[in-house]
């Protein structure tokens, strides 16, 4: 293992919106000596933070794109993958989580663990990403790191232990005490760049000793050697750090650091902690799927001489063309070398190989396993795997949820029309949860995504980046339909009047799968009553019928279709005849199988002061929501509910006015649920009407 | 087994017989035991039995994360469905979870007024027509007897039934002459039914201590299965 890989860190900074993530990131860039001035996120001086390179992000004060930036901290190359703080852009988060090895969970010292922190933490847990916590904004009135640390334990169930305590709080925040080295750290100089390491102030000693004991108790659980040393009261800094690292990597411990990025306090010790406690690329086992061996799992090796495997996790349209961010999992990628895109089956030559620093790029000739770099001018989509041409491996497919909302868009003029097409082509490549197509009947362009805000952001981007002005229709929910009982079919398709005829008979049944499986085809034909050649035709016919259900005209899900009898004609049977027969048979059986309409149900989490709890309950109740739980802690409560997506349009405005802007909410897709009878009737009438008019 | 039959054959019917048809609307029932003897399991079983009867239940908790509580309901439902071979269990489950809401509070610093205000908000603003409230994790030792008075007024007004769990001392269980745990004595006036759980060799026994106006030391002939954590007949 090269020293370089052992020292390397790929980290994400995950946070609730407004907990100061961007400011923290910028301070990290500053201290690692890459940029030379510190600007505020919201841009008092109009320069803006460096990580948020998109104009729109600057305006909203949020980070949408996950740019990867390379910094060096004390001989450790650190790639910072900036993960979006907003849950509507879940796919961006998922993709970033896929390529990082460790994370810093940033929390606001006043707000503590908020609803988005919970969502972000859940995502980190899903990918088993080891993490440190950083409690920010300790300079703010009401900041209390002890309370936030308790919340990490109680609300997120993390084994969170303070590795530091604050020296002063709120406007009196001066620095932090390091509980491992038992020293006090002050941050001097104009930008806190000079660290003064001195004795712990006498007034804090008792507190520091008590907290250190808690830390050592927690850490020595994972290390016998340390436990012994602690008992003999001669534990060394190295011993403690080693044990903390081991426990953190195993996701058994979450060391807690603190400070105020805005006031330049506590950032450098956090960077030290990243190097001490978060994993190097070779501490993490990565799995690829061997496409030549039935997608068998293989562990990739970080040996720089092994054949290359890399994952394209982000595309960016730059001034000079498409920039593709890749994480290298095995071997090395070299300028001028050959790579093979496993999905498109195309080989290409690596032109320029780039390391991205904050808003400036460095040309490099080679990068090895574990590293994150960018390629220029490669035609690919996000999520593609690039391999050495000798290999046929794919990095495990990322979890991509289906879009739940759609919107019709129209360009305002001819020029916008062309630009809109270009923008859509780009967005679809960048984001697999964003889709676009032209509706055959209405000839309208439809875009689909994961939520209202998700689509809003793309419409804004069209306007700003592509100068495409578009009008939008009302958002439409992606309904589905399914059946609730078994129904049989026996259908003969026959057209034998003159010329070559058509003949096919299929019999069998359809039934609910009872699982998450969307479609299952079962062949129970015996004695070749339907020739083997035509079995795929029957399957194809069923699939075609699943595209548009006969109940409300939406795609059909969770149906098992079984064919168990049929007959054939020596001359008139054909692939087409069996497809037509299967399609018609399915449609007839479908209406007998008691179809129902389904709609996307969102898991909604609303958080706000207790005084507005009644309003929050009421607003969810009015939206056909099922309140699952409410948690009250002090003056704040979090309400979790399941609410149909169709009822959530415009909720942010309503919530704001109900709570004087003091409550906020997040939502993510949970499941498909049955549409109430009255609404299903309406959908059915609309569908019937459209069908009749169509004829 | 179909749902109706399952309700009819629930061991909780035996409990109801012993206490004159149940705790009753506007009344409070208590399940008292040492820590770790199955109070939560009992409460969740009682709540699930109510849910199966199409009643609506608010689960108030002072000690757990809401996802832990929901996991309790999942486990108990699964055990009941398995034991009784419940027909169409998945749909029954999806239906009944709609009638349950979990409300979690931090007992330190919350007043009875705040608690009742939140409950009222859930019932009126949230449109949740609760029939039963189960309360888990309330600390009677630091609790104020007036809280129970206020709670009782509240549930009388709305016609609700309440079950509360009470943790007794692990080391020195003090009982009065009627078998009432000492810490509950100041609250007794507002407690209609009191049941204690006593661990025995292989299972946990349910004993009736107070039944409305009478003190009894009656074996309910019910026990808690230490494996499935379900209440069952002896």
Residue A463: predicted pLDDT = 87
Report how far residue B31's alpha carbon sits from residue B16's, in angstroms, rounded to the nearest whole number.
Answer: 14
What is the least distance, in Å, from the CA of B94 to any CA of chain A?
10
Residue A430: predicted pLDDT = 74
Q: What is the pTM of this model?
A: 0.66
SS3 category, A323: strand
Residue A359: predicted pLDDT = 58
Residue A607: predicted pLDDT = 84
* Residue B105 with chain A: CB contacts under 8 Å: 631-632
Q: Do B98 and A626 make contact, defined as CB atoms within 8 angstroms?
A: yes
Neighbouring C-beta atoms of residue A363, cutoff 10 Å: 10
* CB proximity B175 to A under 8 Å: no
SS3 per residue for A473-538: CCCEECCEEEECCCEEEEEEEEECCCCCCEEEEEEEEEEECCCCCCEEEEECCCCCCCCHHHHHHH
**Segments in chain A below pLDDT 50:** 1, 34-66, 87-88, 398
Q: Do A634 and B105 make contact, defined as CB atoms within 8 angstroms?
A: no
What is the least distance, in Å, from the CA of B134 to any CA of chain A?
14
* Residue B98 with chain A: CB contacts under 8 Å: 626
Q: Do B70 and A629 make contact, defined as CB atoms within 8 angstroms?
A: yes
What is the least distance, in Å, from the CA of B57 to any CA of chain A?
11
Residue B171: predicted pLDDT = 61
Q: Do B106 and A629 make contact, defined as CB atoms within 8 angstroms?
A: no
SS3 per residue for B23-80: CCCCCEEEEEEECCCCHHHHHHHHHHHHHHCCCCEEEEECCCCHHHHHHHHHHHHHHH
Per-residue pLDDT of chain B (234 residues; tens, 9 = 90+): 888 999 999 999 988 988 888 899 999 999 999 888 889 999 999 999 999 999 999 999 987 778 889 999 999 999 999 998 998 888 899 889 999 999 998 777 788 888 999 999 999 999 999 999 999 988 888 888 999 999 999 999 999 999 999 998 766 668 888 888 988 999 999 999 999 998 888 888 899 999 988 888 888 889 888 888 888 888
Q: Do B106 and A610 make contact, defined as CB atoms within 8 angstroms?
A: no
- The string of pLDDT tens digits covering residues A612-623 is 999 999 999 999
Q: Do B66 and A631 make contact, defined as CB atoms within 8 angstroms?
A: yes
Q: Identify whether the C-beta of residue A25 lies closer than 8 Å to the C-beta of residue A51.
A: yes
What is the least distance, in Å, from the CA of B9 to any CA of chain A?
28
**The complex's ipTM?**
0.90
Query: What distances in angstroms separate CA A440 from CA A443, A444, B75, B96, one per listed residue?
Result: 5, 8, 49, 42
What is the least distance, in Å, from the CA of A264 to any CA of chain B?
35
Q: Minimal Cα distance from A673: which residue of B?
A: B94
**Domain B3-233 belongs to what topology?**
Rossmann fold (3.40.50)
Q: Are strands A626-633 and B100-104 parallel, antiparallel or unpaired?
A: parallel
Report how far residue B16's alpha carbon sits from residue B11's, in angstroms, rounded to the nearest whole number.
Answer: 9
Mean pLDDT of chain B: 89
Q: Minimal Cα distance from A617: which residue of B?
A: B126
CB pairs under 8 A between A and B: 67
SS3 per residue for chain B: CCHHHHHHCCCHHHHHHHCCCCCCCCCEEEEEEECCCCHHHHHHHHHHHHHHCCCCEEEEECCCCHHHHHHHHHHHHHHHHHHHCCCCHHHHHHHHHCCEEEEECCCCCCCHHHHHHHHHHHHHCCCCCCCEEEEECCCCCCCCHHHHHHHHHHHHHHCCEEEEEEEECCCCCCECCCCCEHHHHHHHHHCCEEEEEEECCCEEEEEEEEECCEEEEEEEEEEEECCCCCEEEC
**Which two structure tokens, joined as six digits, stand for A566?**
């049929």
* Residue B95 with chain A: CB contacts under 8 Å: none
Q: Do A155 and B121 make contact, defined as CB atoms within 8 angstroms?
A: no
What is the least distance, in Å, from the CA of B91 to any CA of chain A?
11
- The string of pLDDT tens digits covering residues A136-159 is 999 988 889 999 998 888 878 788
Residue A385: predicted pLDDT = 87
Q: Minimal Cα distance from B108: which residue of A?
A: A634
Interfacial residues of A (vs B; Cβ cutoff 8 Å): 154-155, 157, 514, 610, 613-615, 617-618, 620-621, 626-634, 637, 640
β-bridge partners, B177: none
What is the least distance, in Å, from the CA of B207 to any CA of chain A?
32
Closest by Cβ to B65, choosing from A155, A617, A620: A155
* CB proximity B102 to A under 8 Å: yes
Closest by Cβ to B126, choosing from A610, A618, A632: A618
B contact test, residue of A156, A627, A636 with most B CBs within 10 A? A627
Residue A356: predicted pLDDT = 78
Query: What distances in angstroms separate CA A690 from CA A555, A684, A694, one per listed residue?
Result: 16, 10, 6
Residue A274: predicted pLDDT = 93
* CB proximity B128 to A under 8 Å: yes
Q: Do B126 and A629 make contact, defined as CB atoms within 8 angstroms?
A: no
């Amino acid at each position: 293992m090269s020293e370089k890989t052992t020292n390397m860190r790929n980290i994400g900074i995950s946070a609730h919106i407004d907990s100061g993530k961007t400011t923290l990131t910028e301070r990290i860039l500053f201290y690692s000596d890459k940029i030379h001035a510190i600007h505020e996120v919201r841009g008092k001086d109009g320069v803006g933070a460096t990580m948020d390179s998109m104009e729109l992000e600057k305006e909203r004060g949020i980070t949408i794109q996950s740019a990867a930036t390379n910094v060096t901290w004390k001989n450790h190359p650190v790639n910072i993958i900036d993960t979006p703080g907003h849950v509507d852009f879940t796919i961006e988060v998922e993709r970033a989580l896929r390529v990082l090895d460790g994370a810093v969970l940033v929390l606001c010292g006043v707000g503590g663990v908020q609803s988005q922190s919970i969502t972000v933490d859940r995502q980190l847990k899903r990918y088993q990403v080891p993490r440190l916590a950083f409690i920010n904004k300790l300079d703010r009135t009401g900041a209390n790191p002890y309370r936030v640390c308790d919340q990490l334990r109680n609300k997120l169930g993390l084994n969170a232990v303070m590795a530091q305590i604050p020296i002063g709080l709120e406007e009196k925040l001066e620095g932090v005490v390091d509980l491992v080295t038992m020293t006090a750290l002050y941050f001097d100089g104009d930008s806190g760049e000079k660290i003064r390491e001195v004795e712990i102030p006498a007034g804090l000693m008792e507190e520091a000793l008590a907290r250190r004991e808690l830390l050592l108790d927690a850490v020595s659980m994972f290390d016998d050697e340390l436990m012994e040393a602690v008992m003999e009261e001669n534990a060394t800094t190295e011993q403690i750090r080693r044990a903390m690292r081991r426990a953190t990597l195993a996701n058994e411990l979450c060391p807690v650091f603190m400070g105020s990025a805005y006031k330049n306090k506590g950032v450098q010790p956090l960077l030290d902690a990243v190097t001490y406690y978060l994993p190097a690329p070779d501490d993490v086992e990565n799995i690829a799927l061997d496409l030549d061996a039935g997608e068998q799992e293989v562990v990739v090796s970080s040996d720089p001489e092994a054949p290359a495997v890399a994952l394209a996790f982000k595309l960016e349209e730059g001034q000079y063309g498409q920039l593709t961010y890749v994480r290298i999992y095995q071997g090395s990628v070299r300028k001028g070398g050959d790579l093979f895109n496993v999905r498109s089956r195309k080989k290409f030559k690596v032109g320029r190989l780039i390391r991205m620093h904050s808003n400036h790029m460095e040309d490099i000739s080679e990068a090895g396993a574990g590293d994150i770099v960018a390629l220029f001018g490669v035609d690919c989509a996000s999520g593609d795997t690039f391999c050495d041409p000798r290999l046929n491996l794919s990095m495990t497919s990322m979890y991509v949820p289906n879009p739940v909302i759609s919107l019709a868009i129209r360009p305002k003029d001819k020029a916008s029309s062309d630009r809109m097409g270009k923008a859509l082509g780009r967005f679809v490549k960048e984001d697999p949860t964003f889709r676009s197509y032209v509706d055959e009947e209405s000839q309208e362009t439809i875009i689909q995504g994961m939520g209202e805000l998700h689509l809003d952001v793309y419409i804004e981007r069209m306007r700003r980046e592509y100068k495409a002005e578009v009008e939008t229709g009302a958002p439409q929910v992606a309904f589905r339909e399914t059946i609730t009982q078994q129904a049989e079919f026996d259908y003969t398709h026959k057209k034998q009047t003159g010329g070559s005829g058509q003949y096919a008979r299929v019999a069998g049944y359809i039934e609910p799968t009872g699982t998450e499986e969307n479609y299952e085809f079962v062949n129970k034909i015996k004695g070749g009553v339907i020739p083997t050649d035509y079995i795929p035709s029957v399957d194809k016919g069923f699939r075609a019928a699943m595209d548009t259900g006969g109940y409300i005209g939406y795609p059909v899900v969770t149906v098992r279709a079984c064919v168990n009898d049929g007959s054939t004609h020596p001359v008139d049977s054909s692939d087409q005849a069996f497809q037509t027969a299967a399609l018609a048979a399915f449609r007839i059986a479908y209406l007998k199988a008691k179809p129902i309409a389904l709609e996307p149900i969102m898991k909604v989490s609303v958080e706000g002061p207790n005084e507005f709890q009644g309003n929050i309950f009421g607003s969810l109740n009015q939206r056909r929501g099922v309140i699952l739980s409410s948690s009250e802690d002090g003056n704040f409560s979090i309400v979790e509910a399941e609410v149909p997506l169709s009822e959530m349009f415009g909720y942010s405005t309503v919530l704001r006015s109900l709570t004087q802007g003091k409550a906020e909410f997040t939502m993510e897709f949970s499941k498909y649920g049955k549409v109430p009878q009255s609404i299903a009737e309406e959908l059915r009438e609309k569908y019937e009407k459209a069908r009749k008019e169509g004829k | 087994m179909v749902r109706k039959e399952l309700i009819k054959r629930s061991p909780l019917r035996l409990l109801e017989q012993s206490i004159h048809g149940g705790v009753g609307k506007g009344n409070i029932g208590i399940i008292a035991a040492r820590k770790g003897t199955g109070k939560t399991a009992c409460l969740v079983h009682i709540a699930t039995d109510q849910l199966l009867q199409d009643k609506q239940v608010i689960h108030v908790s002072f000690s757990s994360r809401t996802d832990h509580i929901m996991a309790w309901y999942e486990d108990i439902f699964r055990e009941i469905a398995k034991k009784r071979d419940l027909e169409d269990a998945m749909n029954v489950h999806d239906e009944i979870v709609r009638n349950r809401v979990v409300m979690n509070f931090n007992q330190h610093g919350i007043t009875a007024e705040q608690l009742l205000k939140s409950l009222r908000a859930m019932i009126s603003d949230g449109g949740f027509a609760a029939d039963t409230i189960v309360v888990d994790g309330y600390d009677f030792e630091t609790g104020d007897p007036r809280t129970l008075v206020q709670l009782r007024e509240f549930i009388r007004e709305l016609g609700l039934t309440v079950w509360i769990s009470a943790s007794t001392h692990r080391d020195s269980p003090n009982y009065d002459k009627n078998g009432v745990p000492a810490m509950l004595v100041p609250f007794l006036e507002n407690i209609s039914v009191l049941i204690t759980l006593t661990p025995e060799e292989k299972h946990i026994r349910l004993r009736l201590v107070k039944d409305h106006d009478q003190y009894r030391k009656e074996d309910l002939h019910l026990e808690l299965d230490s494996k499935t954590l379900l209440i069952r007949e002896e």
